[in-house]
């Protein structure tokens, strides 16, 4: 995209060609490329911590749809990024294995986090949960040959 002036909150730049819409929104330059909706603006509520109040800001429908349906995927990627099993690997099968292990651990943590609201048990952070899983997996392991 072209260079543009710094946006203030609520401003947006839109480029459209056919059914492809490119939108730059907000002062932090939130970029979104969409083909599922045409560009129209809607009002959304934002919270200001300084004033301790809510206010309305206009944003594109595509950004609103993204925020409505993709928050769980972003949160899963965020949680997976905190404590990965392996950072990088040149072998695709190793990366796929560790990716699946990370996703399984994060899914287990989400299930644990949802059941803790129902049953009063000790709360773990994600790091403590991963350490506890590792301790349980290696419990009783002895490398000495008998």
The pTM (predicted TM-score) of the whole model is 0.53
| Distance in angstroms (rounded) separating the CA atoms of residues 28 and 92 | 35
In a domain, 35, yes or no: yes
Residue 135 has pLDDT above 80, yes or no: yes
Shared domain check, 79 and 58:
no
pLDDT band at 139 (very low <50, low <70, confident <90, very high): confident
Percent composition of the chain: helix, strand, coil (DSSP 3-state, to 5): 40, 25, 35
**Residue 29 domain boundaries:** 12-69
Residue 38 has pLDDT above 80, yes or no: no
* 3-state SS assignment for residue 142: coil
In a domain, 63, yes or no: yes
Residue 2 has pLDDT above 70, yes or no: no
23, 41, 69 — which closes off a domain?
Answer: 69
26, 54, 69 — which closes off a domain?
Answer: 69
If one counts the domains in the chain, the total is: 2
The DSSP secondary structure of 50-80, one letter per residue, reads: TTTEEEEEEEEHHHHHHHHHSHHHHHHHHHH
| Distance in angstroms (rounded) separating the CA atoms of residues 86 and 44 | 39
Report whether 85 contacts 102 (CB < 8 A). yes
The pLDDT value recorded for residue 9 is: 65
Report whether 10 contacts 28 (CB < 8 A). no
| Distance in angstroms (rounded) separating the CA atoms of residues 139 and 46 | 48
The pLDDT value recorded for residue 143 is: 75
Question: Interior CA angle at 135 toward 130 and 137, to 5°?
Answer: 95
Shared domain check, 80 and 64:
no
């Amino acid at each position: 995209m072209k260079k543009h002036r710094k946006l203030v909150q609520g401003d947006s730049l839109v480029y459209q060609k056919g059914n492809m819409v490119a939108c730059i929104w907000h002062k932090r330059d939130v970029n979104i490329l969409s083909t599922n909706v045409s560009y129209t603006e809607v009002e959304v509520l934002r919270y200001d911590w300084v004033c301790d109040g809510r206010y309305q800001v206009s944003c594109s429908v595509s950004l609103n749809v993204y925020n409505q349906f993709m928050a769980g995927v972003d949160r899963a990627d965020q949680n997976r990024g905190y404590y990965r099993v392996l950072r990088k690997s040149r072998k695709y099968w190793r990366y796929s294995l560790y990716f699946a292990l990370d996703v399984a651990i994060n899914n287990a943590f989400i299930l644990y986090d949802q059941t803790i609201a129902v049953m009063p048990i000790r709360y773990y952070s994600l790091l403590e949960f991963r350490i506890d899983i590792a301790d349980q997996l290696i419990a009783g392991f002895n490398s000495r040959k008998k």
